[in-house]
Amino acid sequence: MTSSPPVKAFDWPNLGLRVISATILIPIVVVAVWTGGWLFLLMTAIAVALLANEWGQLCASRASARMAIVIAAAVLAPTFYAHWGYFTDAAIALSVGTVVAALAALALKERAGDCAYGVFYIGFPVLALTWLRTTPQGLTWTIALFAVTWSADIVAYAVGNVVKGPKLWPKFSPNKTWSGFVGGLVGAVVAAVAVAVLSKLKISIGAAAAVGLVGGLATMTGDLWESILKRRYGVKDSGDLIPGHGGLLDRVDGLMFAAVIVAGARLIAFIGFPF
């Protein structure tokens, strides 16, 4: 009779690294989001450059640096358009950027589809985030987005490590559990409701809970999607920029999906759909 595998202990060292990283990064993000304007643009542009570099390393094995530059330029152009309020032009520029990235990849004998996808994968959430920050009560909505994303991620990690239980999708992400998934959703809902109440966001408590729920689902979907992508490219992490997390893409994968979903919820509220 074979014995059961030992129960994995709580990963305290990794948690410590995550806490240290969060202590450094969260204040920077909060100040940039709160201030808005050029500081928010600067934070976004730096993030785009770092994400493009990581994506270039993933999708282009022979010319990663050159593809990273192309991808960064293809995303930065629409980012600046969006910052100036030209969102239609930003969308057009993003579409053109995907084509340019594909053509550049073909010229460099890299995977055109993967490189083009990187432009859309990074760029679309950036445009959604930028638009969200510019709307009425945009600061509060953007804070809610980050609160939902961070809460979903932190609570899912903590509950999953403590409660453990059945795996969520072991084929692609062997460390994620159903307990963590449910805990993350609860954390996201609580965060959204707390922000709505404390900031007097002009939506109902039920609507805030719904935003938290779909935002939490988007966060964990983005995290799982990133796991699938890393499995496709045969890597454990997208990079080693952030201790305890890996690359920046590992840190913001959930935020990228959640930004699009929360921006969609904001658009629904913005056009007057009854929440």
Pairing type for strands 173-177 and 167-169 reads antiparallel
Q: DSSP 3-state assignment of 166?
A: coil
Contacts of 194 by beta carbon, 8 Å cutoff, 6+ apart:
147
Q: Is the pLDDT at 3 greater than 90, yes or no?
A: no
Over residues 130-145, the pLDDT tens digits come to 999 999 899 999 999 9
Q: Is there a contact between 221 and 249 (Cβ–Cβ < 8 Å)?
A: no
For residue 145, which of 202, 208, 221, 200 has the smallest C-alpha distance?
A: 208
Burial 159-188 (b: 16+ CB within 10 A, else e): bbbeeeeeebeeebbeebbebbbbbbbbbb
**Which residue has better confidence, 150 or 202?**
150
Over residues 26-42, the pLDDT tens digits come to 888 999 999 999 999 99
Burial classification of residue 47, based on how many CB atoms lie within 10 Å of its CB (0-12 exposed, 13-18 middle, 19 or more buried): buried
Model pTM?
0.88
Q: Is there a contact between 72 and 49 (Cβ–Cβ < 8 Å)?
A: yes
